[in-house]
Amino acid sequence: MQVPMLDLKAEYRYMKADIDAAIAKCLDHQHWILGPEVKELEEKIAAYLSAKHCVGCSSGTEAIVLALRALAIKTTGKEYFERKHLIATTPFTFTATGDAILRAGATPVFVDIDPRTFNLDIVQLKACVEKTSGVVGIIPVHLFGRPCEMDKVMMIAASKKIFVVEDIAQAFGAQYQGRKLGAIGDLGCFSFFPSKNLGGFGDAGMVSTGDPQLHDLVRMLTKHGGKDKYNVDHIGYNARLDTLQAAILLVKLKHIDDFNARRRAIALRYNEGLKDVPGVTTPEIIDGHVVHQYTVRVGNRDQVQADLKTAGVQSMVYYPFPLHTMKVFKDNGARIFGSLANAEKASLEVMSLPIEPLQTREATEAVIAVLSKSV
């Protein structure tokens, strides 16, 4: 049996009639740039999150850049942050989180993760913000779909009057203490990369915020930096959300809660099936967690991955290199707070298993059986 990480063809077949109709509607109206579907998606997602404003954009990476640039303009009066402005974040994330900080002119300061959650260690984060001068904000990343402890993150930020930009690329639909992620921090940044829980048929993203000034700034920056693109105020981007992506995402949005529930059910079955397998550490699945990746720790990862591959089970490593070890961050003055030993250890041990919402029970059982034999 072949078990892929994700089966986007199966997902397309599952909603083919609606997606084909949505695309046909776009072919008919030909409003490819900021067509009616973009506004409709922004309004539907704002309502879904209980966020005041949402702005569609071209990717999750651009969402973070746009959010930070808007904050730079609002809080410093200048177009970009300066390198002396530090933004605390995790080194155990996709490159884009740290890269966006550099692109907005600021410097990332990497803080270690909690080995149990793979998210920022709250004690370390608090110490970093209290002991390091120049920290202007925090980017918590809800890694693998698990919400960060947002009450604590917001308290740490409030105590120093610094901002919080949530990186929700991997956690669309997740919630913390009954509130959807994206309606908690100053801004929330979403990715609709095809493999995400809510994924388009190409690159796309969104920024959410409750602040009208930040909303205006983000929207302007997506459109070259002005309300009127022929007479602009700021150094902007061409970073609009495509009409076609919005049309497809509107269809997929209808399935998001069902698909997230299916992901949780698969994860809970994996946890049950793997709980007594020596050498495998399974993740905790908490309330509000949407399990973008089902990630275990194993000691002999290369061998286990090879065995899984032989048996037809795909696996992936997210992430093999923590950000602070990469040339781009070393060369551009990224800072480190204390030890990042937990992030370094995780990068050597983690392995993600197939978690396709439409995955059959047999496929899930096959993954459990193969992994149980190979460790």
Q: Out of 89, 117, 119, 170, name the contact with ligand PLP by CB under 6 A.
A: 170
Phi, then psi, of 175 in degrees rounded to 5: -140, 155
CB nearer to ligand PLP: give 61 or 208. Answer: 61
Binding window for ligand PLP (CB under 6 A); candidates: 67-75, 91-99, 296-304, 353-361: 91-99
User: Using the rule CB under 6 A, which residue among 3, 96, 214, 256 binds ligand PLP?
Assistant: 96
Stretch that binds ligand PLP, among 74-82, 107-115, 162-170, 216-224 (CB under 6 A): 162-170
Q: Decide whether 168 or 368 has the Cβ nearer to ligand PLP.
A: 168
Q: Which helix (H) or strand (E) holds 241?
A: none
**281 and 60 Cβ atoms separated by less than 8 Å:** no
Residue placing its CB nearer to ligand PLP in the complex, 97 or 305:
97
Structure tokens that stand for 134 in this block: 């120049």
147 binds ligand PLP (CB under 6 A): no
Smaller CB separation from ligand PLP, 36 or 194: 194
**CB closer to ligand PLP out of 195 and 310:** 195
Q: How far apart are CB 336 and ligand PLP at their closest, in Å?
A: 19
Helix (H) or strand (E) holding 228: none
User: Taking CB positions, which residue lies at the least distance from ligand PLP?
Assistant: 60
Contact set for ligand PLP, span 178-237 (CB under 6 A): 191, 193, 203, 205
Question: Per rule CB under 6 A, is residue 319 in the interface with ligand PLP?
Answer: no
User: Quick check: 61 binds ligand PLP (CB under 6 A)?
Assistant: yes
Residue 169 contacts ligand PLP per CB under 6 A: yes
110 is an interface residue for ligand PLP by CB under 6 A = no
Task: Assess 60 for contact with ligand PLP (CB under 6 A).
Answer: yes
Contact assessment for residue 15 and residue 252, using Cβ atoms and an 8 Å cutoff: yes
- Segment lying near ligand PLP (by CB under 6 A), choices 3-11, 94-102, 250-258, 279-287: 94-102
CA angle 209, 109, 93 (to 5 degrees): 65
Q: For the purposes of burial, counting CB atoms within 10 Å of the CB of 205, is it exposed (0-12), middle (13-18) or buried (19 or more)?
A: buried
Q: Which stretch binds ligand PLP (CB under 6 A): 56-64, 101-109, 214-222, 262-270?
A: 56-64
User: What are the structure tokens assigned to 313, written together?
Assistant: 């089970």
Q: Which of 7, 42, 166, 167 binds ligand PLP (CB under 6 A)?
A: 167
Identity of the residue, 186 or 366, whose beta carbon is nearer to ligand PLP in the bound complex: 186
Q: Using the minimum distance from each CB to ligand PLP, give the nearer residue, 73 or 168.
A: 168
What is the three-class DSSP state of 211?
coil
Stretch that binds ligand PLP, among 21-29, 126-134, 164-172, 211-219 (CB under 6 A): 164-172
Over its C-alpha atoms, the chain yields an Rg (Å, rounded) of 21
Q: Is 305 in the site for ligand PLP (CB under 6 A)?
A: no
Residue numbers at the binding site for ligand PLP (CB under 6 A) = 59-61, 93-94, 96-97, 141, 167, 169-170, 191, 193, 203, 205
